[in-house]
Amino acid sequence: MLKICKKLFPLNRSLGGVANILTLNILKKNIESFKIKKFNSGEIVYDWKVPKVWEVEDAYIETPDKKKICDFKKNNLHLMAYSISTNKVLDLKEIKKKIFSIKKNPNAIPYKTNYYKKDWAFCLEDRIKKKLKVGNYRAYIKTIFIKSFLPYGEIFIKGKSKKEVLLSTYICHPSMANNEISGMVVTREITKWLQQKNRYYSYRILFLPETIGSISYIKKNLKKMKKNIFAGYQITCIGDERQFSVMPSKQRNSISDRIAIKVLKTLKGKKRIYNWLERGSDERQYCSPLINLPICSLMRSKYWDYKEYHTSLDVIGNVVTAKGLKGGFEFVKKVIKEIESVRIPIATKPCEPFLQKYNIWKNKKNSYHPTNNVHNILNFISYCDGDKSVDEIAKIIKIDRKKKNKLLELIYKKKLIKFL
């Protein structure tokens, strides 16, 4: 995973373009089921429009003494993403207005984007910005916008059940190790692991440009997603060693949430469960109104909550490590193993079933009261709505493992329940 991180790190990814295609081809290597697909520029997706592809030829600021700063060729974070071309001479006061920096993090180049508005800007360490001298500065940017497509990756791994687990990560930021690359490489490694296993559930795995990618995918596939996806996870910021964390779905009580939180509590070290008001990744789209899929996020240090986030300090070694990636991989693997062990029963009959018809309700002489076993059967079936596991229902109705297995065998044989 660390080796692939190093290949992916320098690429100038954005919403689309050559670097994104190269990224997907690196991720695709040795994964036959990995399909590279596309969203066309100009396509209307709900309230959004798929933008043109942005490519950079060159960008820098020339100081009064003819030295280059904010040189894109030295660090692609120096240029605000989707900056338009410009060639202007500005004085110190004017050029400072076009340079982003972070006063509280003076050694970091911030990462800034401007996808949907025509503008330009640079990014620079605040310690350097403060030392800029009075004089004229030349701001030079040469970029092009192409009506093309935003590429994305999709993998489908078929299991015994048609019900799917969604795994999603994003591919749209350059040169940031934890925020961007860790999600890609851990998800790729999970894919390889899943392909070697006998699976009960099917898995749909997505590598998308954040926000516009997930919105576009939902627009294209909502009906199928609503029908098939019963659990899923956004995988992001998962390569450091500092903590493990979960961002629950908006519902907070989906099967995805319950499993993720259950696994999180078993892990050693620091851990944290966030709430929906602290969201910030593509769980925003998967759980949005009228969509409401049961998707939550699996992370180590959450986006926004570590000092190197969205800066040039989010690098391999300083933030992302081999140990951190392995821990992130094991976290996701444990969650999936738990999902694979889960069976979700669904009642096959509306209303309470007529148990005498199935030779289950056997009355004693002069008694029309159900036995304890019949009570357990009716109680169990009453919770078979397709949103609770067998073990969760057994815990609610307070029956032990032996009774649960015997009861389950009977009602499944009588076709009173089915499984997702």
- For 358-363, what is the mean pLDDT? 76
Please check the confidence at residue 366 and state whether its pLDDT lies above 50.
no
Which one is the CATH code of 2-51+149-338: 3.40.50.1970, 3.40.630.10, 3.10.180.10, 3.40.605.10?
3.40.630.10
Provide the greatest CA pair distance for the chain.
105
Q: Is the pTM of this model over 0.85?
A: yes
Give the residue-averaged pLDDT of 160-164: 96
Q: What pLDDT sits at residue 179?
A: 95
Is residue 215 scored above 90 in pLDDT?
A: yes
Residue 393 — very low, low, confident or very high, per pLDDT cuts 50/70/90? very high
The CATH class that applies to domain 53-146 reads: alpha beta
Q: What is the mean pLDDT of the chain?
A: 95
pLDDT of 356 > 90? The answer is: no
- Is pLDDT above 50 for 228? yes
Q: Where in the chain is the domain with CATH 3.50.30.90?
A: 53-146
Amino acid at 252: R
Residue 365 has a pLDDT of 53
State pLDDT tens for residues 167-199: 999 999 999 999 999 999 999 999 999 999 899
CATH of 345-419 given 1.10.10, 3.40.1620, 1.10.3470, 1.20.1070:
1.10.10
Q: Which residue type does 267 have?
A: L
Q: Is the pLDDT of residue 364 over 80?
A: no
The model's confidence at residue 294, banded by pLDDT at 50, 70 and 90, is: very high
User: CA-CA distance, 372 to 403, in Å (whole number)?
Assistant: 11
Q: What is the pLDDT of residue 372?
A: 64
Is pLDDT above 60 for 370?
no
pLDDT of residue 403: 92
Residue 55 has pLDDT above 50, yes or no: yes
CATH 3.40.630.10 residue ranges for the chain: 2-51+149-338
Strand partners, 165: 203, 231
User: Phi/psi zone of residue 50: left (φ > 0), alpha (ψ -120 to 50 degrees), beta?
Assistant: beta
What proportion of the chain, given as a percentage, has pLDDT over 70?
Answer: 97
SS3 sequence of the chain = CHHHHHHHCCCCCCCCCHHHHHHHHHHHCCCCCCEEEEEECCCEECCEECCCEEEEEEEEEECCCCCEECCCCCCHHHECECCCCEEEEEEHHHHHHCEECCCCCCCCCECCECCCCCCCCEECCHHHHCCCCCCEEEEEEEEEEECCEEEEEEEEECCCCCCEEEEEEECCCCCCHHHHHHHHHHHHHHHHHHHCCCCCCEEEEEEECCCHHHHHHHHHHHHHHHHHEEEEEEECCCCCCCCEEEECCCCCCCHHHHHHHHHHHHCCCCEEECCHHHCCCCHHHHCCCCCCCCEEEEECCCCCCCCCCCECCCCECCCECHHHHHHHHHHHHHHHHHHHHCCCEEECCCCCCCHHHHCCCCCCCCCCCCCHHHHHHHHHHHCCECCCCHHHHHHHHCCCHHHHHHHHHHHHHCCCEEEC
Quote the CA–CA distance of 272 and 261 in Å, as a whole number. Answer: 9
Please answer whether residues 138 and 71 qualify as being in contact, where contact means their C-beta atoms are separated by less than 8 angstroms.
no
Residues 16-29: what's their mean pLDDT? 97
The answer, yes or no, to whether residue 367 has pLDDT greater than 70, is: no
**Averaged pLDDT for residues 331-360:** 94
According to CATH, where is 1.10.10 located in the chain? 345-419
Quote the pLDDT of residue 417.
96
**Contact yes or no for 213/173 (Cβ under 8 A):** no
Taking the CB of residue 103, how many other CB atoms lie within 10 A of it?
9
Is the pLDDT at 35 greater than 70? The verdict is yes
Mean pLDDT, range 75-93, rounded to an integer: 98
Whole-angstrom distance, CA of residue 418 vs CA of residue 36: 35
